[in-house]
Amino acid sequence: MEDASPPYAAKAFANLVLDWADGVGVPITPLKLQKMLYFIHADYLCRFGEPLINEEFEAWAYGPVVPSVYAQFKEFSRQAITKRASTFDPISRSSAVLSARPGQVIRSRIKPIFDLYIDVDAGLLSALSHKHGGPWERATQRFEAHRNINRVISNELIVTAHNLAPS
């Protein structure tokens, strides 16, 4: 079954990124996964005008983070992630691995963005996410001014900041 269009559950999309990374032999740490999710989401959002994932990023110390994805993979610390995100159904008392199955058109939009970032070092991706005037910095400034209590990097802020940022 293919999902017609985004947004996808953040943990399901994280699994897709991990699967693609495995397919090209690139190990992904939690830090790199967060940055990959952010840049793929931001590029997709700015190019196609719709969010790729259904959760907002938050401005944490090392850049944009999806809290649910962080919680799922934090046990790996600085090591490569070797499992996939899952959900627990309390009624059936079972876990199921989550998956995002983009249709061919959506996949043809997402995969080239993934390809842009997959070989970039996690540290460099983190530094890029801290770009002066960028969404992370603006969300952090709003937090420090007590105008963004949850440190949210909204999709509107991502689009606005990317459109205003010098190339």
Average pLDDT in the chain: 92
pLDDT for the residue numbered 1 = 40
In sequence order, what are the residues at sequence separation of 6 or more whose Cβ sits closer than 8 angstroms to the Cβ of residue 120? 128
d(CA 68, CA 145): 25
pLDDT digits 0-9 by tens, 133-165: 999 999 999 999 999 999 999 999 999 987 655
pLDDT for the residue numbered 167 = 46
| Residues in the chain where the model's pLDDT stays below 50 | 1-2, 166-167
Element (H, E) at 22: helix 10-23
CB 48 within 8 A of CB 106: no
pLDDT digits 0-9 by tens, 31-45: 999 999 999 999 999
pLDDT for the residue numbered 17 = 97
